[in-house]
Amino acid sequence: MGKVKVLVNGYGVIGKRVADAVALQDDMELVGIADVVGDWRVKMAQRKGYTVYCSVSDPKRVEDMKKAGIDVHGTLEDLLKNGALDVVVDCAPGGFGAKNKEALYDKYGVKAIFEGGEKHEVAGLSFVCQCNYDEALEKAEAGHRYARVVSCNTTAACRIFHALYTNFKVSKARMFLVRRATDPVKTDTRGIMNTVVPSTFPSHHAPDVKTVIHDAIPDLYSVAVKAAHTMYHFHLYDIHLEQAVTREDIIEALNKEPRLSLVRMSDGVIGLGAVIEISRDVGLPRGDIYTIPVWEDLVTVIEGKEVLLAAACPNENDVIPENVDAIRALTLIEKDWKRSLEKTDKTLRIPKVLY
């Protein structure tokens, strides 16, 4: 089987990382990236050697991008017409994926991965590698062409819940999220300052988790607020078990789980700032870590059956390996979820132990 030909549509916070991750896979070929403007972001893509396409079939846009100094190689639709792509990873802003699906992916019969900004219904399949790779395989074998990599928060929650529900009988969970306000690059205009802003209660995260883990945890609610910081969400979990456990049981389960890592207040990791510094020190590009740091010494068991967990969600990058795995599941080039996960972790150099 030849390499899977992939294009990343939308070169923003997620798109640029997915492009780099795909380029590292020996079973995939990054045909190029597509965007709609020619600012510094796209200029960097070009300097990096990525072939640049225009996301939209609009000669005016192509012209503007060329004027800005981009060597546009054509439009996404040109590529689709020519059958040059196996999979499009759609990293356009939330809502555009649904439009692109209708206008392009349905029309040309290409496979597509959507991100968490799209609703479950757009893809009909929501995906977190360690939770439901097999479900994705099954659907793909039946001819289903779409998958949605869920949002950073939902991905983090699914990994944590997976550690718990595969090891214990979990009856109920409440999630409280303190979200970062906006991405570092958008802090010029979209920030929040000196405030906390509640979301609608309950928040969409619990229903979103259910699109992946289904009924593994029967009673699930979440609430979320935005706080005045720019990187990493803070997660608190209040999880009820139907069996008695110890702190050690929980820590062992977290330790065994892929793409989760333990940090400790007692090592000086006293907040998101320290977790981010650790991430940068890991040495991967952009300070990415892909794994979910969970505070080992904040694991609290109340009266044997209620567990409190605190975690940091690396919002820019925890979903990147999921995109790579989703491509494999959807194209059926790898039938074993653990082999896909391990290959992705190795190529992206995802750390299990952070320090």
* Among 59-67, 106-114, 200-208, 254-262, the segment contacting a copy of itself (CB under 8 A): 200-208
- Residue in 123, 269, 294, 329 binding a copy of itself, rule: CB under 8 A: 269
Query: How many residues at the interface with a copy of itself, by CB under 8 A?
Result: 73
Q: Which range, of 99-107, 129-137, 220-228, 253-261, touches a copy of itself by CB under 8 A?
A: 220-228
Taking the complex as a whole, the smallest distance from the CB of residue 57 to a copy of itself amounts, in Å, to 24
The answer to whether the CB of 238 falls within 8 A of the CB of 161 is: no
Q: Decide if residue 308 touches a copy of itself (CB under 8 A).
A: yes
Candidate residues 95, 121, 247, 302; the one interacting with a copy of itself per rule CB under 8 A? 302
Which residues, in sequence order, are bridge partners of residue 176? 223, 236
Minimum CB separation of residue 309 from a copy of itself in Å reads: 9
Is 152 an annotated catalytic residue? yes
**What are 32's strand-pairing partners?**
7
Binder to a copy of itself among 73, 119, 144, 221 (CB under 8 A)? 221
For residue 54 the two structure tokens come to 């225009």
Choice among 54, 152, 158, 313 that is catalytic = 152
User: Which residue from 108, 251, 287, 305 is in contact with a copy of itself, where contact means CB under 8 A?
Assistant: 287
Rounded Cα–Cα distance for residues 258 and 237 (Å): 19
Nearest to 134 by CA among 345, 330, 347, 350: 330
Of the listed pieces 84-92, 128-136, 297-305, 329-337, which binds a copy of itself according to CB under 8 A?
297-305
Beta strands in 10-158 (DSSP E): 28-35, 52-54, 72-75, 87-90, 111-114, 126-127, 146-149
Q: Could you say which residues in the range 17-56 bind a copy of itself, by CB under 8 A?
A: 39-41, 43-44, 47
The identity of residue 198, as a single letter, is P
Interaction with a copy of itself in 151-190: which residues (CB under 8 A)? 174, 176, 178, 181-182, 184-190
Give the whole-angstrom CA distance, residue 341 versus residue 229: 31
Position among 14, 278, 292, 329 found at the interface with a copy of itself (CB under 8 A): 278
Torsion, CA 82, CA 83, CA 84, CA 88, rounded to 10: 120
Which pairing describes strands 300-302 and 233-241: parallel, antiparallel, or unpaired? unpaired
Q: In sequence order, what are the residues at sequence separation of 6 or more whose Cβ sits closer than 8 angstroms to the Cβ of residue 48?
A: none
Encoded amino acid at 83, one letter: G
What's the rounded Cα separation, in Å, for the pair 205 and 208? 5
Q: Which is nearer to a copy of itself, 1 or 194 (CB)?
A: 194
Selected binder of a copy of itself within 98, 156, 263, 326 (CB under 8 A): 263
Length of the chain measured in residues = 355
The single residue among 58, 106, 134, 281 that binds a copy of itself, judged by CB under 8 A, is: 281
Residues 256, 210: contact at Cβ < 8 Å?
A: no
Q: Which of 207, 267, 333, 349 binds a copy of itself (CB under 8 A)?
A: 267
Interaction residues for a copy of itself, span 97-116 (CB under 8 A): none
Q: Tell me whether residue 40 or residue 121 sits nearer to a copy of itself (CB atom).
A: 40
DSSP classification of residue 185: G
Q: Please report the beta strands in 206-333, taking only residues with DSSP state E, as ranges in sequence order.
A: 219-226, 233-241, 260-263, 292-295, 300-302, 306-313
Q: Per-residue x/- marks for a copy of itself, 227-256, CB under 8 A?
A: xxxxxx-x-x-x------------------
Contact stretch for a copy of itself (CB under 8 A) within 79-87, 94-102, 137-145, 217-225: 217-225
Shortest distance (Å) from residue 226 CB to a copy of itself: 8
At position 184, the amino acid (one-letter code) is P
Q: Please report the DSSP string for 101-117 in residue order.
A: IIIIIHHHT-EEEE-TT
Q: Does 271 bind a copy of itself (CB under 8 A)?
A: yes
- What number of other Cβ atoms are within 10 A of residue 75's Cβ? 20
Identified binder of a copy of itself from the candidate list 2, 49, 109, 283, rule CB under 8 A:
283
Whichever of 112 and 309 has its CB closer to a copy of itself, that residue is 309
Rounded-to-integer distance, Cα 101 and Cα 99, Å? 5
Q: Which residues are catalytic?
A: 152
